C-alpha cells in the first residue's frame, strides 16, 4: 500500500467499481468465490480512495456491510463525527437494497463536515421498491494541505428523465463550491464528451435490432421501427456544468467496462458499453497521470463491471491562489 503521508507520494489512485450485488454472505460456493475475487481485485489495485456501487443489503445493514468490506480490503470507511463519540460510515442507501460507498486507505484525513449522502425515498411496504438505485455519497479529504472531494454515484437504471434530473442534483452537490472534485460512478448512460470533433463513446444502439430494454437507454424511443440512438443528455449535463469525463479529457484509449458478463442482456447481443466512469472538475484534469480500465481474467470473473482507475500527481492539484471559494463546504 502507498505510504500514509500523502505529501511524500507522487501518485494518488482513485478507483470506481460496481461490485455486482456484493453481500459478503454468499449462499453458495460459486458466489462466495466470486465475491472473494472482488475483494482480491480491490486489494490488488492499492487504491487511496475507491468508490463502490452495488453493496447489497437491507438499508439498516448498509453501514455494517461497508465496514466489513473495508476491513477485508485493508481500507476504512469510518468518518468520526464532530462533537460525538459515534462514528459513521461513508455509505449512501439506495433503493431498498443496493447502495454506494467510499472506502479509503488508513492515513488519509477525512473532513467530517464535508460528508453527505444523497438517497432516494426507500419504501419498505410496497411502492417502487428496488427501482432505479440512484444514490451518492460525498466526502472530502485533506491532501497536501487542501481539501479534495470524492464521491461515489449509482445512476438510476430506469427512467431516462430521472437520470437527467439526478445528474443536475449531483452536479450541484459536487461542484458548488468545490474546486477539486472527482466522482466515480456506474452512470447507466452513454457519455457525451467529444474528442477531435467526434463522440468519444460510440453509439452502441444505432444500427442494432431493437429490443424492449432500449426504452431505458435511447433518446425519445417513440416507436421501435424508428432509428434509435443513445440518450446522452445526463452526460451532457455534467459536461456543460463542469464535471468532465476523465477518459475523454485525457484522450485515454476507449475501453468498454461492461458486456463481458455471460448473462448480460447487452453482452449477449454483442453490445459492449462504457458506463463506469470517473468525472472530475477542470483543475483536477491537469493532475491526471493515467486512466485504466482494469481488464483481466480475475476482473472479468469478479463482476459484470470492470473497475476503472485514475492515477493523479497530488503536486499538480493546487487551486488558483486568487480563488476565494472555500472547498469542502456543503453543496446544495
Mean pLDDT value of segment 59-80: 95
Mean pLDDT value of segment 94-123: 88
**pLDDT score, position 221:** 67
**Across all residues in the chain, what is the average pLDDT?**
88
Assess whether pLDDT exceeds 80 at residue 8: no
**pLDDT score, position 128:** 52
**pLDDT score, position 124:** 52
Mean pLDDT value of segment 192-209: 94
**pLDDT score, position 219:** 86
**pLDDT score, position 313:** 94
Q: State the number of CA atoms in the 13 A half-sphere of 26 facing the CB.
A: 14
Residue 64: Cβ within 10 Å count: 13
User: d(Cα 9, Cα 45) in Å, to the nearest integer?
Assistant: 16
Report the alpha-carbon angle 311-315-320, nearest 5. 115
Assess whether pLDDT exceeds 50 at residue 159: yes
Helical segments of 101-194, H only: 160-175
Angle (deg, nearest 10), helices 62-73 and 29-45:
60
| CA dihedral angle for residue 108, residue 109, residue 112, residue 118, rounded to 10 degrees | -30
**pLDDT score, position 317:** 85
**pLDDT score, position 227:** 81
CATH node for 13-314:
3.60.10.10
**pLDDT score, position 294:** 98
**pLDDT score, position 85:** 62
Assess whether pLDDT exceeds 50 at residue 326: no
Residue 327 pLDDT class (50, 70, 90 cuts): very low
**pLDDT score, position 28:** 96
Residue 122 pLDDT class (50, 70, 90 cuts): low
**pLDDT score, position 120:** 79
Decide: 171 and 136 in contact? Cβ < 8 Å.
Answer: no
Decide: 280 and 181 in contact? Cβ < 8 Å.
Answer: yes
Mean pLDDT value of segment 31-57: 97
**Contacts with 252 (C-beta within 8 Å, 6 or more apart), sequence order:** 246, 290, 291, 292
Decide: 122 and 95 in contact? Cβ < 8 Å.
Answer: yes
Q: Which is nearest to 15 in space by CA: 309, 312, 280, 296?
A: 309
Indicate the domain borders of the chain.
13-314
**Contacts with 113 (C-beta within 8 Å, 6 or more apart), sequence order:** 82, 328, 329, 330
**pLDDT score, position 96:** 67
If one compares 212 and 250, the residue with the highest pLDDT of the two is 250
Mean pLDDT value of segment 265-269: 95
Residue 332 pLDDT class (50, 70, 90 cuts): very low
**pLDDT score, position 164:** 93
User: d(Cα 22, Cα 39) in Å, to the nearest integer?
Assistant: 10
Mean pLDDT value of segment 309-332: 60
Amino acid at each position: 500500500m502507498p505510504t500514509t503521508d500523502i505529501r511524500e507520494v507522487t501518485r494518488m489512485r482513485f478507483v470506481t467499481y460496481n461490485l455486482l450485488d456484493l453481500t459478503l454472505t454468499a449462499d453458495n460456493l460459486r458466489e462466495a468465490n466470486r465475491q472473494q475475487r472482488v475483494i482480491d481485485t480491490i486489494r490488488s489495485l492499492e487504491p487511496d480512495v475507491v468508490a463502490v456501487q452495488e453493496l447489497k443489503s437491507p438499508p439498516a445493514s448498509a453501514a455494517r456491510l461497508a465496514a466489513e468490506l473495508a476491513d477485508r480490503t485493508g481500507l476504512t470507511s469510518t468518518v468520526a463525527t464532530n462533537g460525538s463519540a459515534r462514528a459513521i460510515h461513508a455509505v449512501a442507501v439506495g433503493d431498498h437494497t443496493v447502495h454506494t460507498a467510499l472506502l479509503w486507505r488508513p492515513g488519509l484525513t477525512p473532513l467530517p463536515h464535508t460528508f453527505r449522502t444523497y438517497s432516494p425515498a426507500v419504501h419498505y411496504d410496497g411502492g417502487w421498491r428496488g427501482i432505479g438505485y440512484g444514490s451518492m455519497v460525498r466526502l472530502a479529504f485533506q491532501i497536501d494541505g487542501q481539501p479534495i472531494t470524492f464521491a461515489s454515484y449509482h445512476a438510476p437504471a430506469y427512467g431516462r428523465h430521472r437520470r437527467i434530473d439526478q445528474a443536475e442534483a449531483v452536479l450541484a452537490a459536487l461542484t458548488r463550491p468545490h474546486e477539486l472534485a472527482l466522482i466515480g460512478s456506474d452512470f447507466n448512460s452513454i457519455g457525451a464528451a467529444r474528442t477531435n470533433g467526434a463522440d468519444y463513446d460510440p453509439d452502441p444502439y444505432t444500427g442494432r435490432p431493437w429490443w424492449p430494454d432500449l426504452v431505458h437507454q435511447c433518446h425519445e424511443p417513440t416507436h421501435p421501427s424508428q432509428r434509435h440512438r443513445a440518450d446522452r443528455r445526463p452526460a451532457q449535463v455534467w459536461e456543460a456544468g463542469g464535471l468532465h469525463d476523465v477518459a475523454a479529457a485525457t484522450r485515454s484509449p476507449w475501453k468498454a467496462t461492461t458486456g463481458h458478463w455471460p448473462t448480460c442482456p447487452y453482452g449477449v447481443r454483442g453490445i459492449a458499453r462504457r458506463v463506469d466512469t470517473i468525472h472530475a472538475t477542470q483543475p483536477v484534469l491537469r493532475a491526471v497521470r493515467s486512466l485504466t480500465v482494469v481488464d483481466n481474467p480475475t476482473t472479468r470473473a469478479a463482476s459484470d463491471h470492470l473497475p476503472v482507475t485514475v492515477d493523479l500527481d497530488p503536486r499538480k492539484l493546487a487551486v488558483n491562489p486568487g480563488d476565494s471559494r472555500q472547498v469542502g463546504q456543503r453543496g446544495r
